[in-house]
Amino acid sequence: MIIKLKEGTLKENADLLKTKLMDLGFEIHESIGSSITIFGVVGDTSKFDQESLYAYDFIDSVLRVQEPFKQVNRKFHPDNSIIDVSGVMIGGENIVVMAGPCAVESQEQVETIAPLVASAGARILRGGAYKPRTSPYSFQGVGGDGLGILKHAGARFNMPVVSEIMSVEDLDYFVGTVDLLQVGARNMQNFSLLKELGKTQVPILLKRGLANTIEEWLMSAEYILAGGNRNVILCERGIRTFETATRSTLDISSIPVLKKLSHLPVIVDPSHAAGRWEYVEALAKASIAAGADGLIIEVHHEPEKALSDGQQSLKPERFQSLMDGCRRIATAIGRKLD
Ligand code: PEP
Ligand code: MN
């Protein structure tokens, strides 16, 4: 149930209502917007007479929420959420690009790529230290040392870092080292991991599962918010369809759908969707045009020698061309891209 208070409602009245609802056993999530306050009421409201609330003269409207997701619902929080990733704001007017190698391979590799993506305008450095590979015989990532390498490069080139967490066991190390924790497509429904991430306040990049609906994806985000962590960014990375020309099919339509249903920022990973470098720029531009708040792009200075995903990694000069193209689209739709 959602309760919208009238503009100018006194805080003491709002607090009174909140206490009454909490005494009835409900959990209240308060959203204070620029002019209105909204209470998201979580709990079994089926036996509660919502009409009775209109007895208070400061209540504007009371709505039952049909969707199973509550805290990620835009009805709960009409304004866009803006997530602060160590000083880089995601979800506001500025479009934010994250870039770097698929996998951290060595300090030299990361420190070669980082300044190149930074000078093209990327604000956040990516790099996987733990890699979820389909084959157990493929390169599995360098592990914990990779996070140290990434953090060091991030500090050197003034970029927060994003890296994928695969296991709850690594959480303590990640929280102190990585600015934005990525939950990969294969772990989108790892509910024990999501619950633990919900207990932290660290920003989470939640990728869409390979074969998950938008509603399932939002329910996974709901796990994190329900635990108390509101710092979630959604990442569309393509879904499995009958099409084999690309690695996945980029679901561009999820961007406006998510923007309607949820207040969380939405970014797009065209690299994993395309699976081939030559399609990445077109998909990136389409994502910005469709309303994405940012992009995450794989870049490698020597893609032919990359230990993972070289076929979809952009050379630095191609990344520069992608940034130039995306900047033009951003300007055309009245947004900014550094
Ligand atoms: C990645 O970003 O390195 C990755 C493995 O992506 P996804 O989980 O979307 O496949
Ligand atoms: Mn990759």
List the residue whose alpha carbon is closest to atom 9 of ligand 1: 185
Report CA torsion sign: 134, 240, 96, 325.
positive
Instruction: Give residue 43's pLDDT.
Output: 87
How does the average pLDDT of the chain come out, rounded?
96
Question: Of all atoms in ligand 1, which is nearest to the CA of residue 308?
Answer: 3
Residue 138 CA to ligand 2 center (angstroms) comes to 12
Q: What is the pLDDT averaged over residues 112-127?
A: 98
List the residue whose alpha carbon is closest to atom 6 of ligand 1: 184
Q: Are 221 and 254 in contact (CB under 8 A)?
A: no
Q: What are the chain's domains?
A: 2-63 (3.30.70.1140), 83-337 (3.20.20.70)
**Long-range CB contact pairs, 11-15, < 8 A, 24+:** 13/56, 13/58, 14/39, 14/58
- Radius of gyration of the CA atoms of the chain, in A: 21
Residue type at 273 in one-letter notation: A
Instruction: Give residue 34's pLDDT.
Output: 74
Q: Which ligand is nearest to the CA of 209?
A: 1
Instruction: Write down the pTM of the prediction.
Output: 0.94
Residue 184 CA to ligand 1 center (angstroms) comes to 5
Residue 24 CA to ligand 2 center (angstroms) comes to 48
Q: What is the pLDDT averaged over residues 273-288?
A: 98
- For residues 180 and 91, what is the distance between their CA atoms, to the nearest angstrom? 14
- Helices 316-332 and 107-120 sit at what angle, rounded to 10 degrees? 30
Q: Are 286 and 252 in contact (CB under 8 A)?
A: yes
Which helix H or strand E contains 42, and what residues bound it? strand 37-42
Residue 313 CA to ligand 1 center (angstroms) comes to 13
First to last CA, the chain: 40
Tokens 């959203």 belong to 31
* Banded pLDDT at 35 (limits 50, 70, 90): confident
Q: Which ligand is nearest to the CA of 208?
A: 1
If one residue of 133, 161, 237 were mutated to test the ligand 1 pocket, choosing by the most ligand atoms within 8 A of its CB, it would be: 237
pLDDT tens digit sequence for 81-116: 999 999 999 999 999 999 999 999 999 999 999 999
List the residue whose alpha carbon is closest to atom 10 of ligand 1: 185
- For residues 71 and 27, what is the distance between their CA atoms, to the nearest angstrom? 11
Residues with CB under 6 A from ligand 1: 102, 128, 132, 164, 184-186, 207, 237, 269, 272
CA dihedral 118, 259, 291, 296 (to 10 degrees): 30
CB count within 10 Å of CB 177 equals 19
Which is nearest to 180 in space by CA: 144, 151, 156? 151
Token pair of 98 as six digits: 């994250």
Q: Which ligand is nearest to the CA of 132?
A: 1
Token pair of 151 as six digits: 């953090």
Residue 245 CA to ligand 2 center (angstroms) comes to 18
